[in-house]
A and B are shown apart, each in its own frame.
Chain A
Amino acid sequence: MWIPKSLVFMLLMAALAGVASAKDDTSYITLMTHDSFAVSQTVLDSFKKHTGAEIKILKSGDAGAALNQAILSRKNPLADVFFGVDNTFMSRALSADIFVPYISPLLADIPDSLKLDLTYRLLPIDYGDVCLNYDIDWFSQKGLAPPKGLADLIKPDFKGLTVVQNPATSSPGLAFLFTTIGTYGQEGYRDYWERLRQNDVYIASGWSEAYYGKFSRAKGGTRPIVVSYATSPAAEVYYSEKKRGAAPTAAILSRGSAFRQIEFAGILRGTRKPELARMLIDFMLSPAFQKDIPLHMWVFPVRSQAALPEVFREHAHKAQAPVMLPASVIEAGRDDWIESWTEVVLR
Chain B
Amino acid sequence: MISRWYFWLVVPVLLFMGMFYFYPLISIFFLSFMPEGSLDASRVYKLVNNSYYAGVFWFTTWQAALSTLLTLIVALPSAYVFARYAFKGKALIQNLTTIPFVLPTVVTAAGFQALLGPRGLVNNGLMHLFQLERPVIDIDQTVWFFLLAHVFYNYTVVLRIVSGFWSRLPENLTDSAQLLGASRCQVFMTITLPLLLPSILAAALLVFVFCFTSFGVVLILGGPRYATVEVEIYRQALHLFNLPMASALALIQIGFTFGLMAIYTRLEKKVSISMMLQGKHGDGRSAQKKQKCFWVTVTVLWMALLLGAPLFALFLQSIITEDGLGLLYYRGLLENRTDSILYVAPITAIANSLLFALVATLIALTLGWLSAAFLARSKGKASTMLDPVLMLPLSTSAITLGFGFVIALDEPPLNLRSSLLLPAIAHAMVAFPFVIRSILPALRSIPQNLREAAAILGASPFRVWTTIEWPILRRALLVGAVFAFAISMGEFGATVFVVRPQTPTMPLAIYRYLTHPGALNYGQAMAMSTVLMVTTAAGFLFLEKIKPRRGRC
CB within 8 Å of B: which residues of A? 1, 10-11, 14-15, 17-19, 22, 30, 32, 35, 38, 41, 44, 56-60, 64-65, 68-69, 71-73, 75-76, 78, 92, 166, 168-169, 203-206, 208-209, 212-213, 218-220, 222, 335, 338-339, 342-343, 346-347
Chain A proximity of B491: nearest CB distance (Å): 17
- Lowest 3 A-B CB distances belong to which pairs? A213-B517, A212-B517, A14-B351
User: Please, how many angstroms separate the alpha-carbon atoms of A209 and B243 in the complex?
Assistant: 27
Is A72's CB under 8 angstroms from B503's CB?
no
User: Please, how many angstroms separate the alpha-carbon atoms of A75 and B414 in the complex?
Assistant: 12
Is B516's CB under 8 angstroms from A346's CB?
no
Is B517's CB under 8 angstroms from A72's CB?
no
Chain B residues within an 8 Å CB radius of A220: 118-119, 135
B280 within 8 A of partner (CB):
no
B437 within 8 A of partner (CB):
no
User: Please, how many angstroms separate the alpha-carbon atoms of A271 and B255 in the complex?
Assistant: 40
B466 within 8 A of partner (CB):
no
Chain B residues within an 8 Å CB radius of A208: 516-517
Is A19's CB under 8 angstroms from B241's CB?
no
With known contacts A1-B474, A59-B343, A75-B415, A68–B518 Cβ distance under 8 A: no
Chain B residues within an 8 Å CB radius of A11: 354-355, 358
Q: How many A-B contacts at CB < 8 Å in the complex? A: 108
Interface string of B497-509 (1 = CB under 8 A from A): 0001111000000
What are 13 sample pairs from A and B whose C-beta atoms fall under 8 A apart? A14-B352, A18-B355, A44-B338, A72-B237, A76-B410, A166-B224, A203-B225, A205-B515, A209-B516, A212-B518, A335-B242, A346-B224, A346-B225
Chain A proximity of B532: nearest CB distance (Å): 15
With known contacts A22-B420, A38-B339, A68-B241, A78–B516 Cβ distance under 8 A: no
Contact of B515 among A59, A209, A218 (CB under 8 A): A209
Is A69's CB under 8 angstroms from B358's CB?
no
Is A68's CB under 8 angstroms from B52's CB?
no
User: Please, how many angstroms separate the alpha-carbon atoms of A104 and B242 in the complex?
Assistant: 33
Residue of B nearest to A203 (CB): B224
B285 within 8 A of partner (CB):
no
Chain B proximity of A14: nearest CB distance (Å): 4
Contact of A69 among B134, B235, B238, B420 (CB under 8 A): B238
User: Please, how many angstroms separate the alpha-carbon atoms of A222 and B132 in the complex?
Assistant: 13
Residue of A nearest to B407 (CB): A72
B461 within 8 A of partner (CB):
no
Interface size in chain B (residues, C-beta < 8 A): 47
Residue of B nearest to A96 (CB): B241
B298 within 8 A of partner (CB):
no
User: Please, how many angstroms separate the alpha-carbon atoms of A18 and B406 in the complex?
Assistant: 21
User: Please, how many angstroms separate the alpha-carbon atoms of A71 and B240 in the complex?
Assistant: 12
Residue of B nearest to A2 (CB): B546
Residue of A nearest to B516 (CB): A208
Chain A residues within an 8 Å CB radius of B224: 166, 169, 203-205, 346
Is A75's CB under 8 angstroms from B516's CB?
no
Is B52's CB under 8 angstroms from A343's CB?
yes
Is A75's CB under 8 angstroms from B501's CB?
no
Of B241, B339, B478, chain A has the most CB atoms within 10 Å of the CB of B241
User: Please, how many angstroms separate the alpha-carbon atoms of A205 and B234 in the complex?
Assistant: 14
Chain B residues within an 8 Å CB radius of A41: 338
Is B517's CB under 8 angstroms from A58's CB?
no
Q: Which residues in window 408-443 of B have CB below 8 A to A?
A: 410-411, 415, 417-418, 420
Interface string of B273-307 (1 = CB under 8 A from A): 00000000000000000000000000000000000
Is A209's CB under 8 angstroms from B238's CB?
no
User: Please, how many angstroms separate the alpha-carbon atoms of A17 and B503 in the complex?
Assistant: 11
B55 within 8 A of partner (CB):
yes
Chain B residues within an 8 Å CB radius of A32: 501
Chain A residues within an 8 Å CB radius of B519: 219
B239 within 8 A of partner (CB):
yes
User: Please, how many angstroms separate the alpha-carbon atoms of A257 and B118 in the complex?
Assistant: 31
User: Please, how many angstroms separate the alpha-carbon atoms of A32 and B501 in the complex?
Assistant: 10
Chain A proximity of B12: nearest CB distance (Å): 23
Chain A residues within an 8 Å CB radius of B415: 75-76
Chain A residues within an 8 Å CB radius of B239: 64-65, 68, 168-169
Is A71's CB under 8 angstroms from B241's CB?
yes
User: Please, how many angstroms separate the alpha-carbon atoms of A32 and B417 in the complex?
Assistant: 17
B389 within 8 A of partner (CB):
no
B455 within 8 A of partner (CB):
no
B41 within 8 A of partner (CB):
no
Is B238's CB under 8 angstroms from A68's CB?
yes
Is A15's CB under 8 angstroms from B358's CB?
yes
Contact of A168 among B119, B235, B516 (CB under 8 A): B235
B341 within 8 A of partner (CB):
yes
Contact of B417 among A17, A58, A75 (CB under 8 A): A75
User: Please, how many angstroms separate the alpha-carbon atoms of A212 and B521 in the complex?
Assistant: 12
Of B135, B223, B517, chain A has the most CB atoms within 10 Å of the CB of B517
Is A14's CB under 8 angstroms from B354's CB?
yes
Residue of A nearest to B219 (CB): A205
User: Please, how many angstroms separate the alpha-carbon atoms of A222 and B135 in the complex?
Assistant: 10
Chain A residues within an 8 Å CB radius of B516: 35, 208-209
With known contacts A59-B341, A68-B238, A69-B501, A18–B474 Cβ distance under 8 A: no
Is A339's CB under 8 angstroms from B240's CB?
yes
Chain B proximity of A272: nearest CB distance (Å): 11
Interface string of B153-171 (1 = CB under 8 A from A): 0000000000000000000
User: Please, how many angstroms separate the alpha-carbon atoms of A275 and B52 in the complex?
Assistant: 48
Interface string of B385-420 (1 = CB under 8 A from A): 000000000000000000000100011000101101
With known contacts A38-B339, A346-B225, A92–B241 Cβ distance under 8 A: yes
Is A19's CB under 8 angstroms from B240's CB?
no
User: Please, how many angstroms separate the alpha-carbon atoms of A41 and B340 in the complex?
Assistant: 13
Chain B residues within an 8 Å CB radius of A78: 500-502
Chain A residues within an 8 Å CB radius of B420: 18-19, 22
Is B134's CB under 8 angstroms from A222's CB?
yes
Interface string of B218-245 (1 = CB under 8 A from A): 0000011101000000010111111000
Chain A residues within an 8 Å CB radius of B118: 220
User: Please, how many angstroms separate the alpha-carbon atoms of A75 and B420 in the complex?
Assistant: 15
User: Please, how many angstroms separate the alpha-carbon atoms of A83 and B199 in the complex?
Assistant: 56
User: Please, how many angstroms separate the alpha-carbon atoms of A17 and B354 in the complex?
Assistant: 12
User: Please, how many angstroms separate the alpha-carbon atoms of A148 and B118 in the complex?
Assistant: 31
Chain B proximity of A270: nearest CB distance (Å): 10
Q: Which residues in window 356-383 of B have CB below 8 A to A?
A: 358-359
Chain A residues within an 8 Å CB radius of B517: 208-209, 212-213, 218
Interface string of B112-133 (1 = CB under 8 A from A): 0000001100000000000000
User: Please, how many angstroms separate the alpha-carbon atoms of A60 and B411 in the complex?
Assistant: 22
Chain B residues within an 8 Å CB radius of A69: 238, 501
Is A14's CB under 8 angstroms from B241's CB?
no
User: Please, how many angstroms separate the alpha-carbon atoms of A342 and B239 in the complex?
Assistant: 12
Residue of B nearest to A296 (CB): B339
Chain A residues within an 8 Å CB radius of B119: 220
Interface string of B439-470 (1 = CB under 8 A from A): 00000000000000000000000000000000
